[in-house]
């Protein structure tokens, strides 16, 4: 990436909402940009992996690639969650298959059967002969792991900021929804989109496009005109909106008035890759990770109070609006090839994009981010539900 593009990326990503414009198109397609983001962000920040409830049984694991590093988050036989390198210390073979799985007592390399405990200790080497091998020097490297509100994060850096500090005060806005009730985890679909990871994130966090892209789906439930910004900074951000109800006034009278806060949803953005929607019923999310400079992997899931299976109508609804998002993101990616035009100003409804940009600027270019801000709508989430 040229110095000029570095400078432009830094300048635009640092802007406030009043001066913010679209990022340079080439930052969504240049390989050198992704290399910088992989080094400064995905190799050195708290990255969402899965929910604790998805790894409830001893031996359960989730294996994935993170910035080119094969990792596995494992629930050990002692009940602890750990994050290990998923690469054999012999000759570099990936150990556990990607995705969710269950370790049968030990981790055994599929190439030469070097065997490790579920804590990464090297236990056995077949046909070792007379060659001496220090098993303690051949254990699987461990990475930092942190949990917040039932969500699991991994950090490949050496001395990360404690995750509790990173998300400090965020829970204040969520307490009315009683998220501690959401102990049952479910896994959604995994998709590959032909779009840069930042495009997918930006699309997921703003509600400006709902009235157009999701006219027959999300707009009927969470209309753009009812969306608003709640609070945030470069470290996390929250937007929200009032949901439409299909209940008649008579039905509302019969069933009782729902507290106002429960008529709203919260969009929780934990950069770089977690976007969640919290309501009184559930906390659903998508995780977005880059594959290369023009494609990304989308993984969905959620937490709820009960373990009831998702009904066909709801599943179909989610699949439909996700398909709509995929189409528009891949269409936008095509526009990023242009060298004869540039993007324009952001509107007020895109304030949360500024938080994301400032996260990028702080991590990539060491720019001091703006202080956290809170909108007047935030007061709704401080008040007791029956207040």
pLDDT digits (tens, 9 = 90+) for 310-323: 678 888 999 999 99
Same domain assignment for residues 256 and 124: no
Task: Find all residues with CB under 8 Å of 349, minimum gap 6, and list them.
Answer: 206, 207, 208, 224, 227
Task: Indicate whether 179 pLDDT > 90.
Answer: yes
What whole-number distance in Å separates Cα of residue 232 and Cα of residue 368?
15
Say yes or no to pLDDT of 267 above 60: yes
Q: Is residue 281 part of a domain?
A: yes
Within this chain, do residues 199 and 291 fall inside the same structural domain, yes or no?
A: yes
Is pLDDT of 2 > 90?
no
> Residue range 169-191: average pLDDT?
93
Helices (H) and strands (E) in the chain, counts: 8, 18
State the pLDDT at residue 327: 98
Supply the pLDDT for residue 8: 96
Among 51-60, 105-114, 189-198, 299-308, name the one with the lowest average pLDDT. Answer: 299-308
Give the pLDDT confidence of 284-310 residue by residue, as tens digits: 999 999 999 999 999 999 999 987 776
| CATH code of the domain in which 140 resides | 2.102.10.10
pLDDT-derived band at 385 (thresholds 50, 70, 90) equals confident
Residue 255 has pLDDT above 70, yes or no: no
Chosen domain end from 147, 178, 209? 147
- pLDDT of 253 > 80? The answer is no
| pLDDT value at residue 258 | 82
Buried b (16+ CB within 10 A) or exposed e, 286-322: bbbbbeebbbbbbbbbbbbbeeeebeeeeeebbeebb
* Same domain flag for 31 and 61: no
**80: domain range?**
49-147
For position 232, what pLDDT does the model report? 95
Query: Per-residue pLDDT tens for 120-147?
Result: 999 999 999 999 999 999 999 999 999 9
Instruction: Calculate ∠ Cα 15-18-19, nearest 5°.
Output: 45
* SS3 (DSSP) at 77: coil
CATH of residue 240: 3.90.380.10
Q: Are residues 219 and 297 in the same domain?
A: yes
Phi-psi category of residue 283: left, alpha or beta, with phi > 0 → left and psi -120 to 50 → alpha = beta
Judge if the upstream peptide bond of residue 272 is cis by omega within 30 degrees of 0.
Answer: yes
Q: Is 241 a domain residue?
A: yes
Which of 113, 147, 181 is the last residue in one of the domains?
147
Is the domain of 277 the same as that of 177?
A: yes
So what's the pLDDT on residue 310? 67
Average pLDDT on 10-21 reads: 94
Look at the block and give the residue holding tokens 């991590």: 363
User: Given pLDDT bands bounded at 50, 70 and 90, which one contains residue 251?
Assistant: very low
Residue 157 resides in a domain: no
Q: In this structure, is residue 330 part of a structural domain?
A: yes
| Same-domain pairing of 134 and 255 | no
Are 374 and 244 contained in the same domain? Answer: yes
Q: What is the pLDDT of residue 256?
A: 57
Radius of gyration of the chain (CA): 22
Task: Please say if the pLDDT value at position 160 is more than 50.
Answer: yes
- pLDDT value at residue 3: 84
The yes-or-no verdict on residue 219 having pLDDT over 70 is: yes
Query: How many separate domains does the chain show?
Result: 2
- Whether the per-residue pLDDT at 9 is higher than 50: the answer is yes
């Amino acid at each position: 990436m040229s110095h000029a593009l570095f400078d432009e990326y830094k300048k635009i990503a640092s802007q406030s909402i009043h001066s913010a414009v679209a990022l340079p198109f080439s930052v969504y397609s240049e390989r050198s940009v992704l290399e910088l983001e992989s080094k400064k962000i995905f190799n050195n920040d708290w990255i969402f992996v899965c929910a604790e409830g998805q790894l409830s049984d001893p031996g359960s694991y989730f294996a994935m690639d993170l910035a080119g590093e094969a990792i596995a988050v494992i629930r050990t036989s002692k009940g602890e969650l750990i994050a290990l390198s998923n690469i054999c210390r012999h000759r570099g073979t990936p150990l556990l298959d990607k995705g969710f799985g269950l370790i049968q007592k030990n981790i055994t390399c599929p190439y030469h059967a070097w065997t490790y405990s579920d804590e990464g200790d090297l236990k056995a080497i077949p046909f070792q002969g007379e060659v001496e091998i220090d098993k303690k020097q051949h254990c699987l490297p461990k990475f930092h792991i942190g949990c917040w509100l039932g969500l699991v994060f991994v950090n490949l850096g050496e001395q990360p900021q404690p995750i509790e500090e990173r998300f400090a005060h965020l829970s204040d806005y969520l307490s009315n929804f009683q998220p501690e009730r959401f102990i049952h985890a479910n896994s959604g679909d995994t998709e590959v989109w032909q779009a840069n990871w930042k495009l997918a994130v930006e699309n997921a966090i703003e509600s400006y496009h709902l009235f157009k892209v999701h006219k027959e789906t999300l707009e009927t439930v969470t209309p753009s005109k009812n969306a608003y910004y709640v609070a945030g900074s470069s470290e996390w951000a929250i937007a929200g909106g009032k949901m439409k109800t299909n209940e008649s006034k008579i039905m509302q009278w019969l069933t009782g008035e729902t507290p106002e806060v429960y008529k709203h949803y919260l969009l929780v953005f934990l950069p770089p890759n977690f976007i969640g929607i919290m309501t009184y019923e559930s906390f659903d999310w998508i995780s977005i990770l880059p594959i290369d400079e023009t494609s990304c992997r989308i993984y969905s899931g959620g937490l709820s109070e009960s373990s009831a299976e998702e009904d066909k109508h709801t599943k179909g609804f989610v699949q439909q609006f996700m398909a709509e998002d995929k189409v528009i993101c891949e269409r936008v990616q095509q526009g990023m090839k242009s060298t004869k035009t540039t993007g324009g100003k952001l509107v007020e409804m895109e304030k949360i994009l500024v938080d994301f940009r400032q996260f990028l600027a702080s991590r990539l270019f060491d720019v001091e981010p703006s202080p956290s801000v809170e909108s007047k709508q935030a007061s709704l989430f401080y008040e007791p539900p029956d207040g």
